[in-house]
Amino acid sequence: MIEKSNYTSKIHFDVSFSEPQAHYAAVKMSIKEIHADFIDVKMPVWSPGSYLVREYSKQVERFSVEDQVGYEKISKNTWRIFTKNKSSIVINYHIYGFETSVRTNFINDEHAFIVPTATFLHIDGNIDSPVTVTIRPAENWSSISTGLEQIDTHTFYAPDFDILYDSPFEVGNQDIWTIQASNVEHEFAMVGGGTYDKERLSADVKKIVEEETRIWGSNPNKKYVFITHNYQSGGGGLEHLNSTVLGASRTAYSNEGSYKTYLSLIAHEYFHLWNVKRLRPKALGPFNYDQENYTTGLWIMEGFTSYYDNLIIKRCGFFSELEYLNLLANDFTTVLNRPGHHIQSAAEASFDAWIKYYRQDENSPNSSISYYNKGAMLTVLLDLKIIAASKGTKKLDHVLKEAYNHFYLDQNRGFEEDEFQRLVEEFTGISVSDIFKAAHENGELDYNAYFNLVGYEIIDINAESKTLGIGISHQKNDGIQTVTAVERGSGAWDGGLNVRDELIAINGIRLDLKDKEYDYFMQHSNEGDILDILIARDGIIKELKIEIRAANKKLFRIQPVKEQSEEQKQLAEFWLS
């Protein structure tokens, strides 16, 4: 807790919960020392780290200004307050929150998760103003968890709105405990119960924190908070400057596989403490909270982090080498089985995250990829190239520490993508233009040219097998089989089968309720056979001729080459240790 005398603030928020069972929070915003005839107050439209315009202001209602001060709403997220001769005003409004995610408010009779970008207004042009927030828990709620500095029992301080907007609150009766790791206090705030073992989880997370701090060289926080929402079924996470919000299944901790997945999620979000929250592209801070903030560099931010999360779990001893390599190979399987990898590059996926990644539809696999998976693919190639060229004296760890020191600690600014590439090349003494160029193109690199450097290879274990089909996904509802996806380049694609078509019969045989007939035709047809498929489209019966083709679905494995040289063995040890 900091001394009250150590802060000043002209803006204060008071958040209370008189109707938590109806999913409402009441917010009072007090503003002092106004020197204008009017001010505009605004609510962000998105949250940093989640690249989608979410229109948070849609959940604002009962907006009013005390003492009969006039106002008007002038845009979707802006209210103009006519202050005239008043030096201070008080604004009241309510926020509705009932969406289960790491990036939206959720309020019920048991707890409240408060996302600041979805809750707090700022004065236009005054994002750098200090601010205080008082949280008044509902009756029978006892705890508040947040990364903000505490100045009183229920009051917290942020030096500016960028800090406030990056500091979520969990309010309720969450299970709280703390550990020390890398000379930083780490608070666990567990919501919703669960089968977690506090002692084991604390020890395992400490290993992750210390390994990641070792990579970056220093830990910038005094305190860090892990907020975990435990559901019947859940997942996902969102990074913040000195906290993270995670979703998990409350029984996941008692299953070794799902427990390791949770640890990997922690490793991912904690890695963002440095990579994206501090070492970042120029577009990702300072932020424009009114609109999209475009960058082609998410393949670096999320791709690098996606590569490191499982690698760190391997280094900490939670994954075996085989487990780790299978997870790494899965990135290749995921991307290269999507027809969209011929259409969209990693850089394009980054730039278009705002309109594509968070708005997936039935055609997304045909037209797009994930910058997480493709970024991880490119990152391992970069790491292997650095390791081999330096003869096992440098790896990507060292490059990241150098970039963090240069762009963040020394210059405290974001980077352009070409600047980052230049730093990599100057620090390592090698050209990495092949990898950065591949991030901006749709073609594929010779992946084994990189894996072979350390005595490994990536192989498609399905290369010699052939699965036949027409290239659709379908589901059954109330006995009706409906097409849910059509794969680019398949027989169904070329033959005109559409999503939402009802499958009625094949070659004059009506499809039964258990898929037996459909499966029979897929299993007993030959490549090149033409099927007569009867469908209903918007109530109109049609007959289509669809060709059976080889699916060519890939399944990758990463394994040691048969004869590793001593040098390759040493490089591999350096890579995986």
Q: Are residues 257 and 281 in the same domain?
A: no
Residues 43 and 143 both lie in one domain? yes
Domain shared by 149 and 194, yes or no: no
From 244, 267, 290, give the residue that closes a domain: 267
Mark whether 474 and 529 lie in a shared domain: yes
Q: Is residue 355 part of a domain?
A: yes
- Residue 397 in any domain: the answer is yes
Please report the pLDDT score of residue 84 as a whole number: 84
- What is the model's pLDDT at position 8? 64
In angstroms, the CA 6 to CA 354 distance is: 40
Is residue 564 one of the residues assigned to a domain? no
CATH number of the structural domain spanning residue 516: 2.30.42.10
Angle made by CA atoms 421, 423, 427, in degrees to the nearest 5:
120
Residue where one domain finishes, among candidates 267, 289, 311: 267
- Tell me, yes or no, whether 123 lies in a domain: yes
Residue 227 has what pLDDT?
Answer: 98
* Residue 350 domain-assigned (yes or no): yes
Per-residue pLDDT at 514: 63
Residue 538 and residue 404 in one domain:
no
Q: What φ, ψ does residue 510 adopt, rounded to 5°?
A: -65, 140
Position 213 in a domain: yes
* Cα–Cα distance measured from residue 126 to residue 205, given in angstroms and rounded to the nearest whole number: 38
Contacts of 90 (CB under 8 A, 6+ apart): 28, 29, 30, 31, 65, 66, 67
Q: Look at residue 516 in the predicted model and tell me its pLDDT.
A: 80
Q: What is the pLDDT of residue 467?
A: 87
Residues 449 and 501 in one domain: no
CATH number at residue 60: 2.60.40.3650
Query: Which residue pairs from 348-352 have beta carbons closer than 8 angstroms and sit at least 24 positions apart in sequence?
Result: 348/296, 348/440, 349/298, 349/299, 349/374, 350/295, 350/296, 350/297, 350/298, 350/299, 351/294, 351/295, 351/296
436 and 330 in one domain? yes
**pLDDT value of position 7:** 63
Domain boundary among 232, 267, 302: 267
User: What pLDDT does 5 receive?
Assistant: 46
Residue 346: which CATH number? Answer: 1.10.390.10
474 and 379 fall within a common domain: no
Parts of the chain with a pLDDT under 70: 1-8, 513-515
Q: Is the residue at 555 inside a domain?
A: no
Residue 168 and residue 255 in one domain = no
- Host domain of residue 179: 174-267
Judge if 293 and 382 occupy the same domain. Answer: yes
pLDDT of residue 71: 98
Query: What's the structural domain count of the chain?
Result: 4
Interval 373-410: pLDDT, tens: 999 999 999 999 999 999 999 999 999 999 999 999 99
CA angle at residue 338 from 336 to 340, to 5 degrees? 110
Mean of the per-residue pLDDT values of the chain = 96
Q: Are 300 and 223 contained in the same domain?
A: no
Judge if 324 and 180 occupy the same domain.
no
Residue 560 lies in a domain: no
